[in-house]
Structure 1
Amino acid sequence: MTITQLHYVLAVAEHKNFTLAAEKCFVTQPTLSMQIQKLEEELDIQIFDRGKKPIQLTDVGAQIVTQAKNIVNESGRIKDIVDQQKGYIGGDFKVGIIPTVMPTLLPMFMANFINKYPKVNLIIEERTTEEIIKMLKNGQLDAAIAATPLNEETIKEIVLYYEPFVAYVPENNPAYLKKEFDVEDLEINLSSILLLQDGHCFRNNVLNICKATSLGPSSHFQIESGSFETMVKLADEGLGMTLLPYLHTLDMTGKHADKLRHFKEPKPSREVSLIYSKKELKLHIIEALRSTISGVVRGAIAFNNVAITSPLHKK
């Protein structure tokens, strides 16, 4: 049994296709198939049910995959230990970022980080919070940037910044005349708030601000969108107000900027953190990422009197 064989097993288990798994492992399909077959012969069991399409794990195969993940992850830590001992900051580093943070934060720090640490190959993936938690636990991500706190015992959180929520209010809404918002203004206007679709932690943030478990559907339309731009355009059409993260509002000018309403202190805000598994050993790269991001956001976000809202759904 070899680590390479276990890598191949994990690739097939993930992609459920030998050809695609071989491409992801940068080997030929016959080579990958032969190595998996040798492992199955050594163990005298079938890991995959090849008669099903797509390929499925057998019952014992599922147990082997679980153990193989642990073995492969732990074997990779040997190089991490050596790199950290030598002070080497380089190699592949996989980072997940939630969709409502990715468009604004990534352009702020990416070029700076690449210039400062050219030997690090950042692999960025846009993922939901639920996916990030699962991938961190499985060792599929080295770190992630997400709204916190998440209350996960196996995950470490380092706060990067606190980002206030900003209301975007069309002229036809009575709240447009207010210069500053109270949280009570949202509770009064529950039926007119446009939200991102289920699955976005930003939606949960807003619901928690409003102390609501859900918003009643509009009597005129229903929409599921993961785009702030869509919410802004609908608000511009007079179909309701929406809430935006502060960084998303910095590029707004003219008529769009006129529709922004900030909250009174303490400003309802979300906590954005760099998170990683407590078993993670690439702490030198994590610290490099943290210091780079903190350096660039410090000038853009400097809010202290904030009220943090949870990204978790409150039932």
Structure 2
Amino acid sequence: MTITQLKYVLSVAEYQNFTVAAEHSFVTQPTLSMQIQKLEDELDVQIFNRSKKPIELTQIGQKIVEQAKVIVDESNRILDIVHQQKGYIGGEFRLGIIPTVMPTLLPMFLNNFTKKYPKVKLIIEELTTEEIVKKLADGHIDAGLAATPLENEAIKERPLYYEPFVGLIPQNHRLFKNKNISVNELEMEDILLLEDGHCFKDSVINLCRTHKIDNKKGFQLESGSFDTLIKLAKEGLGMTLLPYLHTLDLNDEDKNHLRDFENPPPAREVSLIYHKSQLKMQMIEALKKTIDGVVRGAISFSDVKIISPLQKR
């Protein structure tokens, strides 16, 4: 039995297809199949039911896969121990970032991080929170940047900053003349939202005091882009809510439409998250230290009310 064989088993278990698993393992399909067959012969059990489409794990195969995940994680930890002992920060590091954080936070720290840690090959993906959690569990990414808390026992969370919500109010709106706005004044049917899959949308829904949509506007619109929501709001089609960092680069005309919330403002907690197995901790610590250094000067809010994307409604 080898670690490589166990990795092949995990790959087939994930993709439920020998050809696809081989592609993701960077080997030929016959090589992968032969190694898995050798393992099955050695154990004298059948791990996969090959007659099923897609391929399924047998009952004993499910137990083998659970143990294989532990063994592969622990084998990876050996290299981690060596790197930490040597103080080495380098190698491949895969990071997932949610769409509502990527455009504002990434430009703030990426240049600093790559200059300070030139031996790290940082691979960045824009992913939803659900995708980040799944890829962390599958070992396809090493860490993520997401809104928290997630209430997931398999995930470790390291808060980076607290980002208030800010209202963007069109001139014809009932709240435009207000210096500040209150959470109690918000109505769901009044707010332009991001589309499903964005945790910021879920946070906004949790924030509002009512979820009944009377559709007084005569239309219902959801967008994947804050820029689109801003343009629609300026056309008088409704108000929208933005994360604080997204407001910093707005032009002066757009900033005239911004309204802060009364204290304590609603806010989201943005954290560096990673699997409880805590692999590549030296790179996770380096990333957190870098982000802490650049964010501290841009966002220093502490008196806020955290609105969780998973808050019970």
Q: TM-score, length-normalised on structure 2?
A: 0.90
2:167 — aligned with what? Answer: 167
1:116 — aligned with what? Answer: 116
Counterpart among 192, 197, 203 of residue 205 in structure 1 = 203
Measure the CA separation in 1 of the matches of 2:163 and 2:188.
Answer: 22
1:132 — aligned with what? Answer: 132
SS state at 1:96 partner:
strand
Measure the CA separation in 1 of the matches of 2:234 and 2:17.
Answer: 47
2:150 — aligned with what? Answer: 150
Q: Does the 8 A contact of 2:12 with 2:21 survive in 1?
A: yes
1:255 — aligned with what? Answer: 253
Measure the CA separation in 2 of the matches of 1:75 and 1:96.
Answer: 23
1:266 — aligned with what? Answer: 264
Structure 1: runs of 5 or more not aligned: none
Q: Does the 8 A contact of 1:148 with 1:270 survive in 2?
A: yes
Q: Does the 8 A contact of 2:113 with 2:287 survive in 1?
A: yes
Measure the CA separation in 2 of the matches of 1:45 and 1:156.
Answer: 36
1:98 — aligned with what? Answer: 98
Q: Does the 8 A contact of 1:202 with 1:311 survive in 2?
A: yes
Q: Does the 8 A contact of 1:81 with 1:281 survive in 2?
A: no
Q: Does the 8 A contact of 2:183 with 2:209 survive in 1?
A: no
Which deviates further from its counterpart, 290-299 or 214-223?
Answer: 214-223
User: Within 5 A, what are the aligned runs for 1:284-303?
Assistant: 284-303=282-301
Measure the CA separation in 2 of the matches of 1:281 and 1:17.
Answer: 28
Q: Is 1:30–2:27 an aligned residue pair? A: no
Residues 52 and 268 of structure 1: is their aligned pair in 2 closer, same or farther, counting only changes over 3 Å? Answer: same
Q: Does the 8 A contact of 1:169 with 1:176 survive in 2?
A: yes
SS state at 1:165 partner:
strand
2:76 — aligned with what? Answer: 76
SS state at 2:46 partner:
coil
Which deviates further from its counterpart, 124-133 or 92-101?
Answer: 124-133
Which deviates further from its counterpart, 56-65 or 292-301?
Answer: 56-65
Residues 8 and 183 of structure 1: is their aligned pair in 2 closer, same or farther, counting only changes over 3 Å? Answer: same
2:20 — aligned with what? Answer: 20
1:246 to partner: Cα distance: 1.0
For these two proteins, the number of residue pairs brought into alignment is 312
Amino acid at match of 2:228: T
Amino acid at match of 1:124: I
Structure 2: runs of 5 or more not aligned: none
SS state at 2:146 partner:
strand
2:57 — aligned with what? Answer: 57
Measure the CA separation in 1 of the matches of 2:87 and 2:291.
Answer: 20
Which deviates further from its counterpart, 302-311 or 161-170?
Answer: 302-311
1:5 to partner: Cα distance: 0.8
1:148 to partner: Cα distance: 1.8
Counterpart among 231, 234, 238 of residue 232 in structure 2 = 234
1:57 to partner: Cα distance: 2.9
SS state at 1:177 partner:
coil
Residues 164 and 281 of structure 1: is their aligned pair in 2 closer, same or farther, counting only changes over 3 Å? Answer: same
1:280 — aligned with what? Answer: 278
Counterpart among 213, 218, 221 of residue 215 in structure 2 = 218
Amino acid at match of 2:89: I
1:267 to partner: Cα distance: 1.9
Which deviates further from its counterpart, 141-150 or 97-106?
Answer: 141-150
Q: Could you give the per-residue CA deviations for residues 145-185 of structure 1, whole angstroms, max 9, x where no partner exists?
A: 11122333443322211111111111221211223222222
Percent identity at matched positions?
A: 64
Which deviates further from its counterpart, 113-122 or 297-306?
Answer: 297-306
1:78 to partner: Cα distance: 0.7
1:250 to partner: Cα distance: 1.5
Residues 60 and 297 of structure 1: is their aligned pair in 2 closer, same or farther, counting only changes over 3 Å? Answer: same
Which deviates further from its counterpart, 18-27 or 159-168?
Answer: 18-27
2:11 — aligned with what? Answer: 11
Amino acid at match of 1:292: T
